[in-house]
């Protein structure tokens, strides 16, 4: 099951949301309590003022016991001040005047409920005095419209202030979120490019937020180090490749003549025979040995002998095609791989060119010219041998027959003649 990861902004929203909600709730509760106490005090003060006004207005009617006038005054005040009930009690406890208005609206029922619950006192009583003498009592009960009006205004102020607070907080919050998002996106893009594309060339700009700027500078420094290390590794790898190629060439080349060595020749011979088996073509080998090399080496020294071998190698390379291979097997023995060839005539043609090339005199030391001479043995795959070792061995036997016949010549392998030599 895939794990759903939380985003940074989601976590930040939760971290900020609940403290803000709690703060608003506490603030709203405190505001409601203060507003309610204020409204209740204003309501009770207003009811007290209405009751005192009623006592002043009805004082003459009570003095002259004019009940009709008292009722008219009470009716007018009840209608003007939205009272549910207004009553004047005489000093003897009897009711002098009494007016009741219907109060059955939802606000009235809510106000009555709140009064019954003890949130405020909806009945107000004020004494009626004249020159310090108590004449009766005014009792009024409001319909809650004044209290409801105060409450509506308070709620409107609270809602407006809350809306302004939300808008005021949202603008900087969105601005900060955009700044966070832009800088985090730059960091994320750089890290993703490094991971997916191995691109360490990108650099982050300076950020406004100090922590992100420090992280970005660390990224830049890290990428700079990685880039430098990569460049160093690439340089070392290039150098190692050059060394490996050099060593590979050295491992497959004769250090004296620069020609292919025995290992290289064996590999190329195996490949040529495999290809010939697949295509039905033929492969020829010329086994070459220098005549009287030991005498030259003993007479003029090893340096002269080495110079002679280098010169022979050049002459052999000049006598074959670019696709043919000239190799030094060791000592004064050379071999030429011809692939592909059509038959013995191709081998004989190359052997003649080699004999001509090596017949020219060579100035080995000052005022000393020697005539080179080589003996060549030739063998053809698959006519005279079925595998690389047998082919090279057949050419070697043919070369020995050329030496026995007087040197300076080329002989094609003949199993009827060369086989006894192999058994000996």
What distances in angstroms separate CA 240 from CA 225, 233, 251, one per listed residue? 22, 10, 16
Q: Of 286, 288, 306, which Cα lies nearest the Cα of 297?
A: 306
The two structure tokens encoding residue 89 = 């009690």
The tens-digit pLDDT sequence of the chain (424 residues) is: 556 555 655 656 666 656 666 776 777 778 767 777 777 777 778 888 888 888 888 877 777 778 888 888 888 888 887 777 888 888 777 888 888 877 666 655 666 666 555 555 667 888 888 777 788 888 888 766 656 666 677 677 777 766 776 666 666 666 666 776 777 777 778 777 777 777 777 787 887 777 777 877 887 888 788 888 888 888 888 888 887 776 666 678 888 998 999 999 999 999 999 999 999 999 999 999 998 888 888 878 888 888 889 999 999 999 998 889 999 998 899 999 999 999 999 999 999 999 999 888 887 666 667 777 899 999 999 999 999 999 999 999 999 999 999 888 999 999 888 864 443 3
DSSP-derived secondary structure for 273-324: HHHHHHHT-EEEEEEEEETTHHHHHHHH-HHHHHHHHHHHHHHHHHTS-TTS
Burial 293-317 (b: 16+ CB within 10 A, else e): beebbeebeeebbebbbbbbbebbb
Handedness of CA 197, 202, 207, 212 (dihedral sign): positive
Q: Which CATH superfamily is domain 8-163 in?
A: PAS domain (3.30.450.20)
Active-site residue flag, 332: yes
Q: What are the DSSP E strand ranges found in 324-413?
A: 325-330, 333-341, 361-365, 368-371, 374-381, 410-412
The two structure tokens encoding residue 95 = 């009711």
Q: Of 103, 49, 115, which Cα lies nearest the Cα of 79?
A: 103
**Which residue in 332, 383, 396, 414 is the catalytic one?**
332
pLDDT value of position 119: 58
Which three-class secondary structure state does DSSP give residue 202?
Answer: coil
Residue ranges of domains in the chain: 8-163, 200-251, 262-423
Q: pTM of the prediction?
A: 0.48
Q: Which CATH superfamily is domain 262-423 in?
A: Reverse transcriptase/Diguanylate cyclase domain (3.30.70.270)
Same fold, 8-163 and 262-423: no
């Amino acid at each position: 099951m895939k794990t759903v990861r939380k985003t940074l902004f989601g976590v930040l929203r939760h971290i900020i949301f609940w403290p803000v909600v709690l703060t608003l709730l506490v603030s709203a509760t405190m505001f409601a309590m203060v507003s309610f106490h204020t409204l209740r005090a204003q309501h009770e003060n207003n009811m007290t003022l209405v009751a005192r006004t009623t006592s002043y207005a009805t004082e003459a009617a009570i003095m002259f016991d004019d009940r009709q006038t008292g009722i008219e005054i009470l009716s007018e005040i009840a209608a003007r001040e939205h009272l549910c009930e207004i009553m004047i009690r005489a000093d003897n406890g009897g009711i002098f005047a009494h007016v009741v208005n219907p109060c059955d609206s939802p606000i009235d029922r809510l106000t009555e409920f709140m009064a019954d619950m003890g949130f405020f006192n909806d009945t107000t009583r004020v004494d009626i005095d004249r020159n310090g003498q108590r004449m009766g009592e005014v009792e009024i009960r409001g319909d809650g419209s004044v209290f409801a009006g105060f409450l509506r205004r308070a709620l409107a102020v609270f809602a407006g202030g809350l809306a302004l607070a939300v808008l005021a907080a949202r603008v900087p919050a969105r601005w900060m979120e955009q700044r966070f998002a832009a800088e985090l996106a730059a960091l994320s893009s750089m890290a993703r490019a490094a991971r997916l594309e191995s691109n360490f060339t990108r650099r982050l700009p300076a950020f406004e937020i100090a922590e992100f700027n420090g992280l970005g500078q660390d990224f830049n420094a890290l990428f700079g180090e990685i880039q430098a290390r990569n460049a160093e590794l690439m340089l070392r790898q290039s150098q190692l490749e050059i060394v490996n190629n050099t060593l590979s060439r050295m491992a497959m080349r004769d250090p004296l003549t620069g020609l292919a060595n025995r290992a290289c020749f064996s590999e190329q011979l195996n490949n040529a025979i495999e290809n010939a088996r697949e295509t039905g073509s033929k492969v020829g080998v010329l086994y070459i040995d220098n005549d009287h090399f030991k005498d030259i080496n003993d007479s003029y020294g090893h340096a002269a002998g080495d110079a002679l071998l280098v010169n022979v190698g050049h002459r052999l390379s000049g006598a074959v095609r670019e696709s043919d291979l000239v190799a030094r097997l060791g000592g004064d023995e050379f071999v030429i791989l011809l692939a592909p060839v059509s038959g013995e005539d191709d081998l004989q043609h190359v052997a003649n060119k080699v004999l001509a090339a090596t017949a020219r005199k060579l100035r080995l030391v000052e005022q000393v010219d020697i005539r080179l001479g080589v003996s060549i043995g030739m063998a053809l795959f698959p006519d005279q041998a079925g595998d690389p070792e047998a082919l090279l061995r057949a050419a070697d036997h043919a070369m020995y027959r050329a030496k026995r016949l007087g040197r300076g010549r080329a002989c094609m392998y003949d199993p009827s003649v060369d086989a006894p030599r192999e058994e000996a």
